[in-house]
Amino acid sequence: MNNAQFINDLNDTCKAILKEKYPVFSEAEYQRRFSLIETVIKQKKLDKVIIYEALGSGNAVQYFTGWHTTQEALVEIRENENLNLYVEHYNHLPMAEKLINNRTKLFWGQRQLANKILPEMINDLGQNNTIGIIGRLPYSYITQLQQKNIRVIDISKDYNLMRSIKSNEEISWMKIASALTDEGINNIVSNLKPGLNEHEMSQITQCGYLKHGGHKIINFFGITDMDNPENCVPYQYTSNKNITKNDIITTEISSHFWNYPGQVLRTIGFKKMTPLYNELHAVGDEVFSTIFSILKDGTTIEEINAVSSKIEDGSFSIWDDLIHGYGGGYLDPVLGTKSRPASSYEGFKFKENMTVVIQPNVITNDHKAGIQTGELVHIQKDKSVRMHSFKMGYIEL
């Protein structure tokens, strides 16, 4: 369990970031982000933006300040002013001080974010003012805004649009995360054997990246008998089920580096695939490689749909999403197929520096058998490039 081949293959820029005690983005990168949010403030004529996050849910606080929310955090943003960040708990302030950027002023929330801090934020606002909100604002906050007749606009979509286009610095962090994720799946593939249970499989996967600074987002496993399948998609929680030499295992693995993720999806077994699984995987491989070959700046949803129709041509379907944006959230576009649609995006075109996961989870229509294949890719001007280096295709042990 001591491999580091994917970490060792990173470029010098990524290795330098990994060597930092607590890696942070440059002030120039933060200024780019401030410019993005201030453009939204101007366009929507907002008096301020308020971000609320709790219990590690959300990433906008970190995007603008550098601090990843632990218990609770509240951020106040005004055009051309410093950001005010209120953090709970008090003992989290020393860590926050190491991570925040130069334009962020850090305060303790005094365990009174709703009863004291928010009222102070909106004290000078009334019915002629407008606030932009990012995050899931608690009801107690909403009632205070309503009592003052403050107009509230949810700007989460504007924020997600910011996150969909990555900077060069963000791409470097995601390259690190992809290498960490590769270390994870490589570790489980190298140590997988009949008799292990799913909890042990998750532990082994995490051992591949934890020592290099990675952390778990997801370790999903779907385990079923290859000759008598009863599972078509990985499950979100592990169990004490023991794997056997006749099982086929679908995986979805994501590690993150300071909340920038990688993602790799593979199918693993201890023997050659049966004719059914061979056909499922062949379709999945063809759909992945064809989408990958056409995905670039300007590619349309219609072009993707034309490729994904090959799944239904083989009398198959999907359960998981076919494509989704990734890095800063589960981002648009989230695409399915004709037999399992997802969201609708009229006129949408993929753009340079988007990062998306292509993941054809091809399944039988009775939902008893399925494969996983795919990974995170980086869309460039004239092509897409792999973020991962772990080998493609079915993995026979």
Chain Cα centroid distance, residue 309: 26
| 261 and 373 housed in the same domain | yes
pLDDT at 1: 44
Q: Is residue 35 part of a domain?
A: no
Domain limits for position 74: 45-154
Instruction: Answer whether residue 163 is part of any domain.
Output: no
Are residues 184 and 129 part of one domain? no
Using CB atoms within 10 Å of the CB of residue 90, give its burial: 0 to 12 exposed, 13 to 18 middle, 19+ buried.
Answer: exposed
pLDDT, residue 2, reads 52
Q: 202, 225 in Cβ contact below 8 A?
A: no
SS3 316: strand
Residues 150 and 179 in one domain: no
- Whether 15 is covered by a domain: the verdict is no
Residues 142, 202: one domain?
Answer: no
- Distance from C-alpha of 165 to C-alpha of 31, rounded to nearest angstrom: 15
Judgement on whether residues 219 and 278 belong to the same structural domain of the protein: yes
Angle at 72 between CA 52 and CA 236, to 5 degrees: 90
pTM: 0.96
Can you list the residues of the chain whose pLDDT is less than 70? 1-2
Would you say how long the chain is, in residues? Answer: 397
186 closest CA partner among 253, 140, 271, 246: 253
| 212 and 128 in a common domain | no
377: domain CATH number? 3.90.230.10
The CB-side HSE value for 394 (13 A sphere, CA atoms) comes to 20
> Are both 139 and 76 inside the same structural domain?
yes
- How far apart CA 248 and CA 232 sit, in angstroms, is 10
**Do 240 and 377 share a structural domain?**
yes
Q: b/e for 10-32, b at 16 or more Cβ within 10 A?
A: beeebeebbeeeebebeeeebee
Convert the pLDDT of each residue in 322-371 to its tens digit. 999 999 999 999 999 988 999 889 999 999 999 999 999 999 999 999 99
At how many degrees (to 10) do helices 168-191 and 198-207 cross? 130
**DSSP labels, 153-171:** EE-HHHHHHHHHSPPHHHH
What single-letter amino acid sits at 91? N
Residues 6 or more apart in contact with residue 347 via CB below 8 angstroms? none
- Which tokens in the block code for residue 87? 């953090």
Q: Is residue 17 part of a domain?
A: no
Examine the domain organization and report whether 206 and 315 are in the same domain.
Answer: yes
Per-residue pLDDT at 276: 98
Q: Examine residue 238 and state whether it is found in any structural domain, yes or no.
A: yes
Give the residues across from 132 on adjacent strands.
49, 153
User: Pick from 358, 342, 390, 218: which is nearest to 284 by CA?
Assistant: 358
Task: Kindly state whether residue 336 falls inside one of the protein's structural domains.
Answer: yes
Number of domains observed in the structure of the chain: 2
Do 173 and 320 fall within a single domain?
A: yes
Residue 60: give its domain's CATH number. 3.40.350.10
Residue 9 lies in a domain: no
Nearest-angstrom CA–CA distance, 61 and 85: 8
Q: Are residues 265 and 230 in the same domain?
A: yes
Q: Which of 123, 154, 185 is the last residue of a domain?
A: 154
**235 and 349: one domain?**
yes
Is 321 a member of any domain?
yes
Structure tokens belonging to residue 171: 């791409």
Classify strands 264-269 and 395-396 as parallel, antiparallel or unpaired.
Answer: parallel
Domain boundary (154, 179, 214) is at 154
| pLDDT attached to residue 339 | 86
